[in-house]
Amino acid sequence: MELSMPKMKTKSGAAKRFRVRGSGSIKRSQAFKRHILTKKTTKTKRQLRGTAEIHSTNMGSVKAMLPYA
């Protein structure tokens, strides 16, 4: 019988929400743009487009959830 080291599991919710860039920074999508959009101004909705980088204070927790990223 062959014993091997156990593998760490990736948090599947985090894998769907974050992507690691080539530089090592992690990008995320913007919140507050899925529903209740009628009361938001056009400017607000436009500024919520695209992706943002996660804050440095959250980098450790996100990297722990994505061990192989």
Q: What pTM did the predictor assign?
A: 0.79
Model pLDDT for residues 4-61, shown as the tens digit of each residue = 888 999 999 999 999 999 999 999 999 999 999 999 999 999 999 999 999 999 999 9
Q: Between residues 46 and 69, which one has the greater pLDDT?
A: 46
Find how far residue 41's CA is from the centre of its chain: 25
* pLDDT for 4: 85
Please report where in the chains the tokens 């980098």 appear, as a residue: 59
pLDDT at 2 over 80: no
Say if CB 35 and CB 60 are below 8 A apart: no
Comparing CA positions, the residue from 7, 26, 28 lying closest to residue 69 is: 26
- Domains belonging to the chain, first-starting first, are 12-65 (4.10.410.60)
State the pLDDT confidence band at 3, using cuts at 50, 70 and 90: confident
